[in-house]
């Protein structure tokens, strides 16, 4: 299992500083953030923390995941205690970090298309939409397999979608009838739209519209363009077709999207992702339990 080396020393050192795994936004918000994620460990919120609800929502989701056989495209949690969540360490960092490191072959991005839609399809099977598919929540392991993480916005399919910043969510236009002006309902449509923008970002190295001259405050303009379904120009390739279809919400389910992505060359020519094996998970859980007993989470 080369991509999931247990780096205990590093984790413990990081834990002492209460620093955060760099992909977690709260890391950037400084030492006051109490919701912290470590190399292999995701620490916790204190009861005073406003992120407490989000943290407990995420813990609940992992409890649900654990009742099913694991999805290889979703970050796994080894152990959850009231103020800590021990997650698998992904050495490839976030999608953004990966894109900055060196050039990514198209076949890798094709595999990411399949992995990301497969992750979404697995959540769909459980009756949920992720609702926060953005580059910081798409991590890569040491073998460049993409894994979806951050489950505190998960919502049951069919419930109102609270939305997200553009281009990861789209305010619907007149084509949606009564939903005109809203983010619509959580489900294949909203998830696909985010997946389309992620794949665009991965292939271009920048967000949709980011290179266009939209002047000082691009936010409202991007919202308006998305709403009118005026998407950036795409090429003729199969992956670009998938991006266009995602933006238009053409797949009726993420399962269908995953099936479509599975015929991209990178999706079947390159090695598949696997879940961590049961024994490794059990051993890691025991180590995490020992760390908790030894006071890792004590303030
Ligand atoms: C959609 O909403 C916009 C602004 O909120 C409005 O101008 C437009 O007439 C609406 N279109 C339809 C078809 O409801
Ligand atoms: C996707 O949907 C758009 C508009 O709904 C349609 O014009 C286009 O032909 C569809 N593409 C595919 C491949 O189904």
Cα 187 to ligand 1 centre (Å):
23
| Tens place of pLDDT per residue across the chain (299 aa) | 222 323 333 333 333 333 333 333 333 333 323 333 343 444 433 344 455 678 788 889 999 999 999 999 999 998 888 777 888 888 888 898 999 888 899 999 999 999 999 999 999 999 999 999 999 899 999 899 999 999 999 999 999 999 999 999 999 999 999 999 999 999 999 999 999 999 999 999 999 988 766 556 677 888 999 999 999 999 999 999 999 999 999 999 999 999 999 999 999 999 999 999 899 889 888 888 887 888 776 65
Q: What is the CATH number of the domain that holds 197?
A: 1.10.510.10
Residue 228 sits in the same domain as residue 149: yes
In a domain, 31, yes or no: no
Within a 10 A sphere around the Cβ of 35, how many other Cβ atoms?
25
Same domain, 106 and 69: no
- The whole-number pLDDT of residue 292 equals 82
Smallest-distance ligand from the CA of 257: 2
Q: Please work out whether the CB of residue 176 comes within 6 Å of at least one atom of ligand 2.
A: no
Distance 172 CA to ligand 1 centre (A): 10
- Residue 287 within a domain: yes
Based on the domain organization, do 86 and 101 belong to the same domain?
no
- Nearest atom in ligand 1 to the alpha carbon of residue 180 is 1
Does 71 lie in the same domain as 138? no
163 in a structural domain: yes
Residue 82 lies in a domain: yes
Q: What gap in Å lies between CA 86 and CA 63, rounded to an integer?
A: 13
Decide: 181 in ligand 1 pocket, CB within 6 A. yes
107 lines ligand 2 (CB under 6 A): no
Based on the fold, state whether residues 284 and 265 are members of the same structural domain.
no
Say how many Å lie between the CA of residue 281 and the centre of ligand 2: 43
Indicate which residue's Cα is closest to atom 8 of ligand 1.
174
Same domain (yes/no): 63, 108: no
Indicate if 143 and 232 belong to the same structural domain: yes
Cβ burial 117-130 (10 Å sphere, 16+ → b, else e): bbbbbbbbeeebbb
Give me ligand 2 centre to Cα 193, in Å. 14
CA distances from 10 to 6, 13, 21, 89, 147 (A): 9, 5, 11, 11, 22
| Ligand 1 proximity of 180 Cβ (cutoff 6 Å) | yes
- What's the number of domains the chain is made of? 2
Q: Which residue owns the Cα nearest ligand 2 atom 11?
A: 245
Residues 184 and 229 in one domain: yes
Minimum CA distance residue for ligand 1 atom 10: 174
Domain check: are 141 and 168 in the same one? yes
- Is residue 248 in contact with ligand 2, taking CB distance under 6 Å? yes
Q: Which ligand is nearest to the CA of 173?
A: 1
Does 55 fall in a domain?
Answer: yes
Atom of ligand 2 nearest to the CA of 248: 2
Q: Is residue 32 part of a domain?
A: no
User: Is the same domain home to 113 and 247?
Assistant: yes
Do 84 and 122 belong together in one domain? no
Which domain, by its residues, includes 86?
Answer: 41-90+276-294
Q: 60 and 108 share a domain?
A: no
Q: How far is the CA of 250 from the centre of ligand 2 (A)?
A: 6
- Residue 250 in contact with ligand 2 by CB distance below 6 A: yes
């Amino acid at each position: 299992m080369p991509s999931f080396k247990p780096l205990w020393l590093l984790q413990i050192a990081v834990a002492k500083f209460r620093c955060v795994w760099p992909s977690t936004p709260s890391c950037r918000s400084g030492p006051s953030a109490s919701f912290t994620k470590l190399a292999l460990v995701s620490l916790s919120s204190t009861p005073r923390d406003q992120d407490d609800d989000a943290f407990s929502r995420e813990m609940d989701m992992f409890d649900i995941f654990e009742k099913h056989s694991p999805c290889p495209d979703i970050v796994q949690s080894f152990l959850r205690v009231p103020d800590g969540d021990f997650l698998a360490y992904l050495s490839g960092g976030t999608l953004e970090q990966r894109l900055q490191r060196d050039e990514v072959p198209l076949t890798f991005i094709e595999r990411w298309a399949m992995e990301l839609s497969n992750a979404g399809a697995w959540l769909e099977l459980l009756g949920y939409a992720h609702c926060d598919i953005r580059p910081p929540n798409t991590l890569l392991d040491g073998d460049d397999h993409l894994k979806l993480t951050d489950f505190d916005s998960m919502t049951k399919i069919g419930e109102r979608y609270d939305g997200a910043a553009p281009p990861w969510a789209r305010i619907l236009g007149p084509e949606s009838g009564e939903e005109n002006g809203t983010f619509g309902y959580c489900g294949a449509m909203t998830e696909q739209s985010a997946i389309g923008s992620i794949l665009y970002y991965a292939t271009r190295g920048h967000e949709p519209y980011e290179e266009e001259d939209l002047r000082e405050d691009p936010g409202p303009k991007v919202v308006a363009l998305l709403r009118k379904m005026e998407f950036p120009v795409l090429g003729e390739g199969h992956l670009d077709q998938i991006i266009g279809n995602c933006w238009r919400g053409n797949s009726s389910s993420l399962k269908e999207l995953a099936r479509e992505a599975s015929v991209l060359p990178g999706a079947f020519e390159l090695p598949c992702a696997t879940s961590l094996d049961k024994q490794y998970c059990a051993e890691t859980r025991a180590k995490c339990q020992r760390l908790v007993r030894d006071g890792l989470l004590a303030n």
